[in-house]
Structure formats: C-alpha cells, structure tokens
Amino acid sequence: MELLDKLNWRYATKAMNGKTVDQDKIDRILEAARLAPTSSGLQPFEIIVITNNDIKGQIKPVAWDQSVITDSSHLLVFAAWDTYTAERINQVFDMTNSVRGYENEGFENYRQMLLNTYPQKDAEENFIHASKQAYIAFGLAVAAAAYEGVDATPMEGFDPDAVDKILGLREKGLRSAVLLPLGYRDEDNDWLANQVKVRKPKEQLVTVLD
Ligand SMILES: Cc1cc2nc3c(=O)[nH]c(=O)nc-3n(C[C@H](O)[C@H](O)[C@H](O)COP(=O)(O)O)c2cc1C
C-alpha cells in the first residue's frame, strides 16, 4: 500500500479490541515522532508510553470516558515543556556540538539569540509554542501508525490538568498536550469503522499562486 492508501485506511478509531501491538511497530512509530522537525531543533516535549492498565483506568474518566483509552494497547501522551529555560536550550545545543564534533560561530550566535529570547517570555506563551512542536511529532506518529497498520485515535478530549496530576508531569516541567491511543479497531462495535472518509475538496484547501 502507498502512504496515501494508508492515510485513507486510517480513521480516528472509536472502539479498539484490546489486542497488543508488537513492540517493533511501537518503536517505529516512536522513532517517526523522534525524527519530527521542530522549531530550532529543540524537541521541546516528551512522549509518555502507557501500557499499565491501572494508569489507563485513571485517565479514562478525565478523557471524556473514551473507551479507547483502556482498550488501546499503548497510550501515548505527548507532553510539552512547561516553558523554555536556558538549561533546556543549552542542553540541545551542547548535544548537537557533541554529536557533530565541532563548534560553529553561526550556530553559537543562534544559541545566544534563543537564550536572549525564549527564557524571558511568559511561560504560557512558551508552553503553547512547545506544544505546537509536540503536535508535529504527534502528526508524524499518526501517519507512522497508519503506515504500520496500527489504529490510532488522535485525542484532545481530555482534561490536561487532571492528566498532568495522574502522571506527575508538572513536577517534571511538562504539561500534557495531546493523547494518542494505539491499538486495533473493533469493527463490530465501532460506528465509524466503515464510514466514508470526509475531507474538503482540494480546491477549498489549496491555493496555487503561479
Ligand atoms: C488534535 C486532534 C484531537 C482530536 N480529539 C479527538 C477526541 O478526543 N476523540 C475522538 O474520538 N476523536 C478526536 N479527534 C479525531 C477527529 O475528529 C478526526 O481526526 C477527524 O474528524 C477526521 O476524521 P478521521 O481522522 O477519522 O479521518 C481528534 C483529532 C485531532 C487531530
């Protein structure tokens, strides 16, 4: 199947059958998220992978009681940095220098520019920026799941403060941004399983300026 066939195959699964997804598929989905481009390469988020049924059970009631939370195989929580700090920015730039094995003046100037910009900003503004980066990785994970033949439910229908509390995210300088239950569709019990995919026509979405 081509990628587009797989994107047509996927849908926001409303019922999953509880079957376990092989770890190698999960690893490739997470790798796609890790490879996501992010603003200044900061990757300002972490992904929490939950297979623990007790924790899933605690999250379900604060996620609109959506059954896929507990019927999924793996529940991914994309958690963004609560703000940008000098330490966090420096860590990424130091890692880049270490991996590439050299320092570059232009890159160091860019580091200084970020250090003079982000940490001084309002934490909420920084979190919103960081969570946008998390969504890029989330989007790639959605596509990668489809590519692997794994069903997924992109999910904003949850109480982020409650999820942060359950997972102790605030203490780690993180805030939940978006969830992604992964598993396999339960076709018999999912009203959406065989519905035609609905998207705006290309003409309404794309403007070509020649
Ligand atoms: C960021 C985001 C949040 C969403 N939140 C939910 C959700 O909480 N529950 C749900 O069942 N679907 C959720 N959806 C699924 C969308 O409703 C769905 O992707 C959209 O209607 C397109 O349909 P399709 O994904 O089945 O093709 C969400 C999708 C995205 C991208």
Q: What percent of the chain has pLDDT over 90?
A: 100
The answer to whether residues 25 and 113 touch, using CB atoms and an 8 Å cutoff, is no
DSSP state of 181: E
The answer to whether residues 16 and 193 touch, using CB atoms and an 8 Å cutoff, is no
* CA 119 / ligand 1 centre spacing (Å): 33
Q: Is the CB of 16 under 6 A from ligand 1?
A: no
Q: What local confidence, expressed as pLDDT, does residue 177 receive? A: 98
Place of tokens 């982000």: 118
Average pLDDT over residues 70-83: 98
* CA 71 / ligand 1 centre spacing (Å): 17
Atom 19, ligand 1: residue with shortest CA distance: 12
- Among 189, 162, 175, 163, which Cα is nearest to 67's? 189
Q: Is the CB of 153 under 6 A from ligand 1?
A: yes
Supply the mean pLDDT for the chain. 98
Q: Where are the domains of the chain?
A: 3-84+121-205, 87-118
Beta-carbon count within 10 A of 210 CB: 2
Average pLDDT over residues 43-63: 98
Q: Is the CB of 154 under 6 A from ligand 1?
A: yes
Would you report the helix, strand and coil content of the chain in percent, each value rounded to 5?
A: 50, 15, 35
* CA 154 / ligand 1 centre spacing (Å): 5
Residues 100-150: pLDDT tens digits?
999 999 999 999 999 999 999 999 999 999 999 999 999 999 999 999 999
Average pLDDT over residues 31-51: 98
The yes or no reply on domain 3-84+121-205 and CATH 3.40.109.10 is yes
The answer to whether residues 144 and 33 touch, using CB atoms and an 8 Å cutoff, is yes
pLDDT confidence bin for 33, thresholds 50/70/90: very high
Average pLDDT over residues 167-194: 97
pLDDT confidence bin for 1, thresholds 50/70/90: low
Phi-psi map region of 109: left, alpha, beta (phi>0 left; psi -120 to 50 alpha): alpha
